[in-house]
């Protein structure tokens, strides 16, 4: 089943839901972004419970890449990323610091805030309120089983204030309606239908109000408002003209989303988790292709996940006779023992998560944009809250960055960070997005060396 919106949907709803707030970024930042050479968008992709890193017995990680620079080999559990090896950057030695090391909640709090106990605004929200502020939706936070079991607090990774996380939208159907507007009612035969909303400029409809506001502003704020209105006009133009959008042949004029398997009765059924996650990834790509947002977070499940991954149909994890939860499998014991059900299941789970990351990367790489594809102008960041799922330590974090960020990131490399804090990675990615910051979090030392061109 697919959700479809015809070209009679109301753009008024779209822009009304987003609001016409003044952008928060500086005018200088916006001029830098307009000149090019920066990433157009960023997606943070989260999966739970770490990876099969170095074991307690001292066995080397089965996940981390080995080698250095452009001469490196993927870890065996990274195999699904092989087709996109040259589009990615892998890391060794990234640390989230010693506070709460060994703790899932502690890692989730530090993950995007780079601050002990989550006492800061997370990097995704910082970017949403700066480089993303001119988009109709400053921030898109979608989940798949991320809010089950009344999850709140440290189960969610996006922080809008110190110690205050927000929840994602777990239902792709609701998220689609928010982004593209509910399907309009069919007109009654014989009744006048009025002008097609798509053929009416939303911006022109509020110009009088905007002019009144503009008259009260100083020169700098007037310039900010003009840039903001210009960006919204560009979005509206792309929607009207039916710019190619996301998977399945959808366009911005007639957006569609495949929601097969996504129903009220199955939304929290583990067997349909892959359907929900796939829909959320497709929707994120579609929204970004249509210029509706520049900053997105996709949260797949939650830390200490009770997701029964052995119920995923048509996967090598599928085992109807044995329920294996993500967190249960991550406690595989001191050794990498494939004869043990927990470890065998955890290794397969790691590979499945990387296959989902590969799917997301592939969707961006399918869509042409300027002199390349959307992937060439994007940043995709894969994160989890601990390194090894069994030891829960917060060093050698298994992060992956994909996309060339408009030429700012040289991909196809393995970077040994020498133990640098992961805050430095967030600084570098912010700079790649055109946001000029030199510090972030509790213990930063500037942009991570070697990542940016």
pLDDT in tens, 155-183: 999 999 999 999 999 999 999 999 998 65
Query: Which among 404, 35, 435, 17 is positioned nearest to 232, based on CA atoms?
Result: 17
End-to-end Cα spacing for the chain? 44
Mean pLDDT of the 110-120 span:
98
* Percent of the chain with pLDDT strictly greater than 70: 79
19-67 per-position pLDDT tens digit: 333 333 433 333 333 334 899 999 999 999 999 999 999 999 999 999 9
Q: What is the pLDDT of residues 341-392, one digit of tens each?
A: 999 999 999 999 999 999 999 999 999 998 899 999 999 999 999 999 999 9
Q: What is the pLDDT of residue 2?
A: 75
Instruction: Let me know the angle formed at the C-alpha of 233 by 231 and 185, rounded to the nearest 5 degrees.
Output: 125
Predicted local confidence at residue 216, as pLDDT: 76
Residue matched to tokens 């080995």 = 66
pLDDT score at 30:
34
Task: Please name which of 258, 244, 353 lies closest in space to residue 1, comparing C-alpha atoms.
Answer: 258
Contact 303, 107 (CB under 8 A): yes
What are the domain boundaries of the chain?
A: 39-172+269-432
Residue 33: what are its φ and ψ, rounded to 5°? -65, -35
DSSP state of 143: E
Question: Cα(274)–Cα(318) distance, rounded to whole angstroms?
Answer: 12
Give the pLDDT of residue 119.
97
- What is residue 398's predicted lDDT score, i.e. its pLDDT? 98
**Per-residue confidence band for 336, with pLDDT thresholds at 50, 70 and 90:** very high
At 300 the three-state DSSP class reads: strand
Distance (Å) of CA 380 to CA 5, 244, 317: 27, 20, 26
The helix/strand/coil state of 111 is: helix
Residue 72 host element (H or E): strand 71-73
Provide φ and ψ at 366, rounded to 5°: -80, -20
Rounded to two decimals, the pTM is 0.83
Higher pLDDT, 5 or 239: 5
Q: Give the pLDDT confidence score for residue 215 in this predicted structure.
A: 74
Structure confidence at residue 255 (pLDDT): 92
Torsion of CA 426, 430, 436, 440, to 10 degrees: -20
How far apart are alpha carbons 291 and 41 in whole angstroms?
Answer: 9
Per-residue pLDDT at 213 exceeds 80? no
Please check the confidence at residue 197 and state whether its pLDDT lies above 60.
no
Max CA pair span of the chain = 77
Q: Is 69 exposed, middle or buried (0-12, 13-18, 19+ CB in 10 A)?
A: exposed
pLDDT band at residue 227 under the 50/70/90 scheme: low
Average of per-residue pLDDT across 204-210:
52
Q: What superfamily in CATH does domain 39-172+269-432 come from? A: Alkaline Phosphatase, subunit A (3.40.720.10)
pLDDT digits (tens, 9 = 90+) for 243-270: 555 555 557 888 999 999 999 999 999 9
| Summary mean pLDDT of the chain | 86
Which residue, 30, 361, 290, is CA-closest to 137?
290
Q: What is the pLDDT confidence band of residue 222, given thresholds at 50, 70 and 90?
A: confident
Range in 122-126, 132-136, 194-198, 212-216 the model is least confident about:
194-198
107 token code pair: 């890692």
What are the percentages of helix, strand and coil residues in the chain, rounded to 5?
40, 15, 45
- When mean pLDDT is compared across 14-18, 116-120, 126-130, the lowest value belongs to 14-18
What average pLDDT does range 7-14 have in this prediction? 36
**Per-residue pLDDT band at 70 (split at 50, 70, 90):** very high
């Amino acid at each position: 089943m697919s959700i479809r919106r015809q070209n009679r949907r109301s753009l008024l709803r779209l822009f009304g839901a987003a609001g016409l707030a003044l952008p928060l970024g500086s005018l200088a930042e916006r001029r830098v972004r307009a000149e090019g050479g920066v990433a157009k968008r960023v997606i943070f992709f989260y999966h739970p419970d770490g990876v099969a890193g170095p074991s307690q017995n001292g066995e080397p990680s089965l996940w981390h890449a080995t080698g250095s620079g452009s001469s490196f080999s993927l870890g065996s559990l990274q195999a699904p990323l092989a087709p996109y090896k040259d589009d990615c950057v892998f890391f060794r030695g990234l640390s989230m610091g010693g506070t709460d090391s060994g703790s899932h909640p502690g890692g989730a709090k530090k993950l995007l805030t780079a601050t002990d106990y989550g006492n800061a605004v997370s990097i995704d929200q910082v970017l949403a309120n700066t480089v993303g502020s001119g988009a109709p939706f400053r921030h898109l936070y979608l989940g798949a089983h991320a809010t089950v079991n009344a999850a709140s607090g440290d189960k969610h990774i996006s922080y809008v204030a110190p110690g205050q996380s927000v929840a994602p939208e777990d239902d792709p159907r609701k998220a689609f309606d928010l982004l593209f507007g509910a399907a309009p009612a069919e007109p009654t035969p014989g009744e006048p239908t009025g002008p097609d909303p798509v053929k009416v400029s939303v911006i022109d409809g509020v110009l009088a109000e905007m002019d009144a506001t503009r008259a009260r502003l100083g020169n700098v704020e007037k310039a900010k408002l003009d840039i903001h209105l210009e960006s919204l006009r560009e979005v509206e133009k792309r929607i009207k003209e039916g710019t190619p959008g996301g998977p399945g042949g959808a366009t911005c004029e007639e957006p569609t989303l495949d929601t097969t398997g996504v129903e009220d009765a199955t939304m929290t059924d583990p067997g349909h988790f892959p359907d929900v996650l796939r829909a959320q990834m497709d929707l994120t790509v579609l929204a970004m292709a249509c210029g509706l947002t520049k900053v997105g977070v996709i949260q797949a499940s939650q830390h200490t996940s009770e997701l029964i991954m052995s119920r995923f149909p048509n996967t090598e994890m599928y085992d109807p006779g044995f329920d294996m939860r993500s967190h249960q499998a991550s406690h595989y014991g001191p050794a990498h023992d494939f004869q043990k059900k927990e470890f065998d299941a955890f290794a397969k789970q790691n590979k499945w998560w990387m296959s989902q990351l590969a799917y997301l990367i592939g969707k961006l790489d399918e869509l042409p944009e300027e002199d390349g594809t959307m992937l060439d102008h994007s940043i995709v960041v894969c994160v989890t809250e601990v390194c090894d799922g069994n030891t829960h330590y917060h060093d050698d974090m298994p992060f992956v960055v994909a996309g060339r960020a408009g030429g700012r990131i040289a991909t196809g490399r393995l970077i040994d960070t020498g133990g640098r804090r992961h805050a430095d990675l967030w600084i570098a990615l912010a700079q790649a997005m055109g946001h000029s910051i030199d510090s972030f979090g509790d213990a930063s030392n500037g942009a991570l060396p070697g990542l940016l061109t």
